[in-house]
Amino acid sequence: MAARFLRKLRLTLEMIKFEHSLFALPFALTGALLALREARFEEPRLAWKLSWIAVAMVGARSAAMAFNRLVDAGLDARNPRTRGRHLPAGLLSRGFAWGFATAAMLVFLLAARALNPLCFRLAPLALAVVLLYSFAKRFTTLSHLILGLALGLAPAGAWIAMRGALDPRILWLTAAVLLWTAGFDIIYACQDYEFDWQARLFSFPRRFGIAGALRISRAFHVGMVVCLLVLAAQFRLGALSLAGVAVIVVLLIWEHRLVRPDDLSRVDAAFFTVNGYVSVLFFLFWAADMLLLSARA
């Protein structure tokens, strides 16, 4: 019985690509470090808070991904690119997936409650945003931006977890993550251009064509860089943070060179590999700036 449960759990973690929690977690931790820096690194429960922030982040993403797979199971079964996913392929039952999604939501709410009262009060709203994305492509072209908002809430939530209140300056990081996520989601959606037309789903590639959607993706990523520069100025960060932004610029240029309107064969490399580097290297450079050059603040 235990072996059967563990097998289903392993399949569920594969289905939601659990390892890709890496995408948003570094930005959440950056938000937490910015809040900690504003408090002059005086936080007696630092490890405890950071642990619960990580739990909340992973819980919210896991719930959102499992819910998305459940909501999209019918569409995935019709799409040649996705019909091999766990639910349409019959590798995993809907009942187990629903149980996992519910448990992940409860974990998120538990983590929010453990952090502070404001986090707990805002948790249902945050959960509503991350779950809304699963329906968005059925009624709005802005679905990519809704996904961006879902991930962009992470650093703002981490700030609230550390300080118990929101500082508007952290919303520049929310905006940066929103634009970054929307940009790479548009690239990923280009693979489903024909299916979106057939299924009458909304997306930037369907609305503007693949070439037009890729241009918008590039514009969003330029906007991300602008937001990061404003954020660095707002918090009076040093040279390492600016070096981190420069590294992101190089990575985003690489990402957009991998994908062309007439050649989408390297979308996976652009989506998974490059964006993994973006999030991790951003955190490393900015954390180093805050921890090593904090005296400049």
Which domains occur in the chain, in start order? Answer: 12-296 (1.10.357.140)
Could you write out the three-class secondary structure of 47-80?
A: HHHHHHHHHHHHHHHHHHHHHHHHHCHHHHHHCC
Confidence of residue 186 (pLDDT cuts 50, 70, 90): very high
* pLDDT at position 101 over 70: yes
Q: Which of 97, 127, 100 is nearest to 113 (CA)?
A: 127
Q: What pLDDT does residue 294 have? A: 62
pLDDT digits (tens, 9 = 90+) for 7-47: 988 988 889 887 777 777 899 999 999 999 988 777 778 88
The proportion of the chain whose per-residue pLDDT surpasses 70, expressed as a percent, equals: 98
> How wide is the angle at C-alpha 260 spanned by C-alphas 15 and 77, nearest 5°?
30
Is pLDDT of 100 > 60? yes
Arithmetic mean of pLDDT over the chain: 92
